[in-house]
Amino acid sequence: MESFLGEVAADLYARYGEELSRRAVLFPSRRARLFFTDALARIARRPMWQPSWTTIDELMSEISGLRTGDRLRLITELYGIYSEYHAEPFDKFYFWGDMLLSDFDTIDKYRIDAAMLFRNIEEIREIEADISYLTPAQLRIVAFWSSLGAEADLSEEKRRFLAIWRTLGPVYRRFRERLSELGIAYGGMVQRAAADRLRSGEFAFATPRRFVVAGFNALSECEKELFRFLSSAAETDFYWDYDSYYKDDPEQEAGMFVRENVVRFPPRAELSHDGMSRPKELTSVAAVSNAVQCKYVATILRGLAAGGRLGKETAVVLTDENLLLPLLCAMPPEVGPVNVTMGYPLRASLAYTFVERLVELQARRRTKGADCTFYHADVTGLLAHPYVAGCDAELTRRLQEEIMRERRISVEASWLGRNDLLRLVFSPAAGWRALSAWLSEVVAAVVRIPCPDDDARRRTEFLAVIAGEIARLGNSLDECGIEPAPEVYASLLRRHLQTLRIPYEGEPLEGVQVMGILETRNLDFENVVILSMNDDNFPGNRMAQASFIPYNLRAAYSLPTPEHHEGVYAYYFYRLVQRARRVWMLYCAHADDKSTGEPSRYIYQLGYESGFPLRRIEVGVDVNLAETAPIEVRKDDGVMRRLERFTDPGSKATLSPTAFFRYVACPLRFYFHSVARLDAGDEISEEVDAPMFGTILHAAVQRLYAPIEGEAHPGGTLRALIRTGEVAAAVEAAIGEHYLKDPKATAADYTGNLVLVKDIVVRYLRGGVMPYDAAHDGFRVEGLERRVDYGFDFATAGGPRRMKFSGIADRIDRLDDGSLRVVDYKTGSPHLEFAGIGSLFRGEGRQRLSNIVQTLLYAMMLYRSEGSDATPALYYVRAMNRPDYSPLLDDRELSLRGARYSLYAERFEELVRETLAEMYDPAVPFRQCVDADTCRYCDFNVICKRG
């Protein structure tokens, strides 16, 4: 079947021949020009001059004498007017300003009396007194105002709406006056000025003009005025692209505008309009996800490609642009070349992420004396970014490792500036002009860095677009005299860059055509695949929240409404289907918070009304739920050699109580950490995480208790310390040393939740640990953060061995009776009860309590190395303010609390020997633990597929 553009080309060539080059052709899209030229070339079969091309906007500008201004400039000028009536920051206004500009644009394109539309609510009685000029539809205005109710009873939102509404008339008028002074306009203002000139007879073409107007659908009042002028003042041929199926049926919304257009502007020649009466293969595909939609497109195209090479007769139409990248990734190679007309979203590019990183870097910058510091996450993110790493990969990697190793939360600019690019990137930019200039300099510097040939052009193109937009935004702000804060400027730049698309390069008349729904206007395809045909997306309701003008007023003044939108999209759909032979309509049947999972109403309409059989397919995903085999690591010679370093007298390696418990909880975890020595992937927490919180508390306690080391009955000293500022000073010193990595840091340098962390630690010490020790001061501190070592003998199948246990005990006290107490500070939830010594080694996952096992190991080492009995004590700091708190272990099996180590020595050491013998038995592999709860916080749970 011949395409619409092919029929238009044939009729025009038959009518005018090569004289067609003297006519100007208007199409609703630029893409149609290429396909029209291709059709004309096939008909003419000889070289000829193309017709000239024009657009509605070009004609309107010619007639009005106005030029369209840059949208950023227009919004900034609108803000200048708006701020005379309302106090609102520019970044918050930007969204509303864009909406207002669209409303003003629509008002002018439809030639609405803005003064009447924006009439104050106080003048409703005046409207009611004289309604002779209102149509019945316009009377619905009163219904709108009455729905608001009495102003005294309005909510804050309605009051805000009314306050803005009452000023829209003056804002509209003043805005147009300001643009007229500047000699610029928005699109609707241009069209209205042109339509007014045409209606008043002030404009006429200087020389005879000839036009071809083809393929339009919904027309604004200004466009109708232009077409009326062209039909009478110039020789104009009109061609309308429609099918009798929906044009002749008044119930079909797809023909809503065509029916009027054909009457107003009769076509010069009748083309074929019977495409919907010809055979078609229609298929509805319900997919379980958007990704499956894209994969099924590949299946469809493979089937088509089996019959021969695919070309421009096949189109894949995206109603949701977010599926472009997954679709391109799913395209099979046998399909051949693909022509993309939609453009690549800039926000998905490396160039955009680079600018995002730069903006965040400056947003969290801090001044420190003559230097400035940057937040570690921003610094490491930029150092890892390909655009920065490309300047010196070894240097940037080394800087990242050093930041992680030293846990630098704030990184000095002077420390980072190791080469020209790094000095430029990590330099302060205060004020929006300085930020704009700095961004431009950094972008220019990155462009100059050599990179692989396949990336150089893409990088340069994307960064050039960004550099241009940075300059445009700066110029717009300068011209309007607006002085935004740096964070406001950054927000504006982000919002603007996120809307940009970079056009793909390709041969538009070759290969499968991948396009959006708007690009399909006037184009016909034999095979059509439409994605995302969910009803809430296609047609959707794109105007529901995009206007200050309520629905009732839009309907009363014949402005575009959701019904208008549905009519436009119904036309797009049926026009695309009418000449196609095969149509696949895919949608995601999965319902979530963004979609109902319902197919588009157009799928239902085709099934019930078209008379064509509609094949329905459901596409899912095969999920294999086969159990994952347990992971085991055999103890070969290499593994045994690495294990032996813990028992080799010549080796410096020792086994800590923490590492020993890793084996008790999960032998495989012990293998990963202590034998294979895998790096768990160190990172600097965005906030103070649990391990760092514990480190700060331990360091603060050590500072506070160091002066009382050796002092008997230190209760008085502790009570005196509580009343001073020493506790807060010790906590600040611990934060500066261990978290900020800056011993000179003060509370003024704190960000995030650091102030809260400090207050919590101070409260734990002042309200819990120190008052408890002061009230139970029958001890003297013998050691703080003291290393404890002990060689533990055990037997293996290969002979006797001695395990070199070693660890750092938080605190060791000498009690009044001469025995020792080993104190371990804990910041988690209290776990002092246990179901006997055996459960700590052989019980279920939750019965194996690391804190108790580790404390008993320290008590064992002291008991055996110093010959003094020891009492394990766990100071759970968050619970020590309770009057009944006790740090002593509670053995539920023996119904005994506070037992000394000697009571458990025999059984405990027997279990330790059995555990070590198993650890060194070559016949017993390192096995994955059975209880998955143990894996929840394991660094290696992803390897085990339990993460």
Same domain, 111 and 171: yes
Same domain, 598 and 468: no
Structural domain includes residue 629:
no
Helix/strand/coil for 635: coil
Domain count for the chain, please give it.
5
Length of the chain: 947
pLDDT of residue 125: 40
Alpha-carbon dihedral angle through residues 571, 573, 577, 582, given to the nearest 10 degrees: 180
Structural domain includes residue 628:
no
Structural domain includes residue 18:
yes
Same domain, 719 and 785: yes
Query: Which of 236, 251, 273 is the last residue before a domain boundary?
Result: 273
Mean pLDDT of 490-495: 87
Between CA 930 and CA 415 the distance in angstroms is 48
Same domain, 313 and 356: no
Structural domain includes residue 676:
yes
Helices and strands in the chain, H and E counts: 38, 27
pLDDT of residue 148: 55
426 vs 130, higher pLDDT: 426
pLDDT category of residue 129 using cuts at 50, 70 and 90: very low
Tell me how crowded residue 48 is: count the other CB atoms within 10 A of its CB: 15
pLDDT of residue 452: 61
pLDDT category of residue 266 using cuts at 50, 70 and 90: very high
Q: Are strands 371-375 and 410-412 parallel, antiparallel or unpaired?
A: antiparallel
CA 937 to chain centre: 26
User: How far, CA to CA in Å, does 736 sit from each of 686, 750, 754, 759, 794?
Assistant: 16, 9, 11, 15, 44
pLDDT of residue 446: 92
Same domain, 328 and 378: no
Same domain, 228 and 295: no
Between CA 763 and CA 441 the distance in angstroms is 49
CA 647 to chain centre: 51
Structural domain includes residue 518:
yes
Same domain, 523 and 477: no
Token reading at 66: 């106005």
Helix/strand/coil for 693: helix
Radius of gyration of the chain (CA): 38
pLDDT of residue 128: 44
Q: Are strands 582-588 and 281-287 parallel, antiparallel or unpaired?
A: parallel
pLDDT category of residue 322 using cuts at 50, 70 and 90: confident
Between CA 51 and CA 583 the distance in angstroms is 33
Residue 433 · residue 461 · CB < 8 Å: no
pLDDT of residue 13: 95
Mean pLDDT of 446-465: 80
Token reading at 933: 């709860």
Tell me how crowded residue 66 is: count the other CB atoms within 10 A of its CB: 22
Give me the DSSP letters along 388-427: HHTT-HHHHHHHHHHHHHTT-SEEEHHHH--SHHHHHHTS
Q: Residue written as tokens 């690591």?
A: 633
- The string over 149-177, giving b where at least 16 C-beta atoms fall within 10 Å of a residue's C-beta and e elsewhere, is eeeeeeeeeeeeebebbebbbebbebbbe
Same domain, 428 and 487: yes
Mean pLDDT of 672-693: 74
Structural domain includes residue 659:
yes
Residue 600 DSSP class: P
Q: What is the pLDDT of residues 95-128, one digit of tens each?
A: 788 889 999 999 999 999 988 888 744 454 444 4
- Of the listed ranges 456-460, 560-564, 837-841, the one predicted with least confidence: 456-460
Residue 708 · residue 781 · CB < 8 Å: yes
pLDDT of residue 120: 46
Same domain, 323 and 388: no
The closest of 166, 168, 185 to 177, measured between CA atoms, is 185
- CATH at 243: 3.40.50.10930
pLDDT of residue 748: 74
Percent of the chain that is helix, strand, coil (3-state, to 5): 50, 15, 35
691 vs 238, higher pLDDT: 238
Same domain, 353 and 333: no
Has residue 60 got a pLDDT over 90?
A: yes
pLDDT of residue 122: 43
Q: What is the pLDDT of residues 786-797, one digit of tens each?
A: 999 999 999 998
Helix/strand/coil for 912: helix
Query: Which of 589, 619, 649 is the last residue before a domain boundary?
Result: 619
pLDDT of residue 746: 77
pLDDT of residue 149: 54
Structural domain includes residue 631:
no
Mean pLDDT of 275-301: 94
Query: Which of 443, 476, 502 is the last residue before a domain boundary?
Result: 502
Residue 114 · residue 107 · CB < 8 Å: yes
Structural domain includes residue 119:
yes
Same domain, 336 and 430: no
Amino acid, single-letter form, for residue 475? N
Amino acid, single-letter form, for residue 822? V
Phi and psi dihedrals of 323, rounded to 5?
-90, 0
Residue 226 · residue 194 · CB < 8 Å: yes
pLDDT of residue 370: 76
- CATH at 665: 3.90.320
Between CA 183 and CA 406 the distance in angstroms is 59
Range of the domain at 170: 70-185
Phi and psi dihedrals of 198, rounded to 5?
-65, -40
Same domain, 924 and 796: yes
826 vs 124, higher pLDDT: 826
Has residue 544 got a pLDDT over 70?
A: no
Mean pLDDT of 386-402: 91
pLDDT category of residue 624 using cuts at 50, 70 and 90: low
Q: Output the average pLDDT for the chain.
A: 88
